[in-house]
Amino acid sequence: MGASPEPEQPNDADGLLLDFVRDRDTACPRCGYNVRNLTKPICPECEEPLVLKVGGRSYPIRWLLATVAPGIFTGIMAGVMAVIFLIVGPPPAVPLGAILTGWFFVTSAAVAGAIILWSRRFIRQPQPRQVMWVVLVWVIHLCAFFIFLSYALP
pLDDT digits (tens, 9 = 90+) for 77-132: 889 888 988 898 877 777 777 788 888 999 999 999 999 999 989 988 888 899 99
Same domain flag for 68 and 140: yes
Asked, for residue 1, whether it belongs to a domain, the answer is no
Nearest to 91, CA basis, from 107, 102, 77: 102
What sections of the chain are H helices per DSSP?
Answer: 13-22, 62-88, 96-117, 119-123, 127-152
Same domain flag for 91 and 16: no
Same domain flag for 72 and 141: yes
Domain encompassing residue 133? 62-152
Same domain flag for 93 and 128: yes
Give pLDDT tens digits for 13-53. 788 888 888 888 988 888 888 999 888 888 888 888 888 77
Q: Is 61 exposed, middle or buried (0-12, 13-18, 19+ CB in 10 A)?
A: middle
Number of domains in the chain: 2
DSSP 8-state secondary structure symbol assigned to residue 29: T
